[in-house]
A and B are shown apart, each in its own frame.
Chain A
Amino acid sequence: MKSVVLVLMFLTGLFAKEAVLPTELTAWKSLSFISAAKSANELSDASLSLNHASLIGLHPTPKIQYVARPMNEGGTVSYGGIFQIDIKESGVYRVVLGNASWIDLIKDGKAALSVAHNGGPENSGIRKMVDYALEAGTYTLQLSAGADSTSALLVTKIK
Chain B
Amino acid sequence: MKHTLRAILVASGLIAPLYAQSIQSDNQADKVKIELGRKLFYDADLSINGTMSCATCHEQRRAFTDGNKVHPGALDDPGKRNVPALANVGSYKNLTWAHNHLSGLAEQSLMPIRGTDPIEMGMSTHEEEIGKRLSQNECYRKMFTIAFSEEKGSINLSTVSRALESFEKTFISNDSLYDQKIKSNQPLPTKESEAGKKLFFGAAKCNSCHSAPLFSDDDFHQVQPQTQAANPLMKDNGLSDVTGNLKDKNAFRTPSLRNAALTSPYWHDGRAKTLSEAIRKHDLKMNQTLSDRDIAKLIAFIDTLSDISFVNNPKYTKPSKECPY
Instruction: Give the interface of A toward B (CB within 8 A).
Output: 61, 69, 72-78, 100-101, 127, 145-147
Contact = CB atoms under 8 A, between A and B. Distances in A.
Nearest to A75: B50
B319 to A, nearest CB: 11
Contact of A78 (B42, B44, B55, B318): B44
Contacts of A146: 51
A74 B49 CA distance: 9
A69 B72 CA distance: 24
A127 B49 CA distance: 17
Contacts of B45: 75-77
Given A73-B44, A145-B44, A78 B51 contact: yes
Contact of A145 (B51, B75, B133, B321): B51
Contact of B49 (A69, A72, A73, A147): A147
A74 B321 contact: no
B146 interface: no
B49 A76 contact: no
Contacts of B56: 72, 145
Contacts of A147: 49-51, 74-75
A100 B76 CA distance: 9
B321 A75 contact: no
B46 interface: yes
CB-CB nearest 6 A-B residue pairs: A75-B50, A78-B50, A75-B45, A75-B44, A77-B50, A147-B49
Interface of B: 42-47, 49-53, 55-56, 72, 74-76, 133, 136, 318, 321
A118 to B, nearest CB: 11
A61 B321 contact: no
A109 B269 CA distance: 37
A69 B133 contact: no
Given A69-B321, A76-B136, A77-B133, A145 B42 contact: no
Nearest to A77: B50
A69 B319 CA distance: 12
Contacts of B321: 69
B133 A76 contact: yes
Contacts of B72: 100
A61 B136 CA distance: 15
A78 B49 contact: yes
Nearest to B49: A147
A127 B46 CA distance: 22
Contacts of A77: 45, 49-50, 133
A29 to B, nearest CB: 22
A61 B76 CA distance: 20
A77 B56 CA distance: 16
Contact of A75 (B51, B55, B75, B318): B51
Nearest to B321: A69
B157 to A, nearest CB: 16
12 contacts: A72-B53, A72-B55, A75-B44, A75-B45, A75-B50, A76-B50, A76-B136, A100-B51, A100-B72, A145-B50, A147-B49, A147-B74
A145 B136 contact: no
A78 B321 CA distance: 17
A76 B133 CA distance: 8
Contacts of B318: 73
B136 A74 contact: no
Contact of B43 (A75, A100, A101, A127): A75
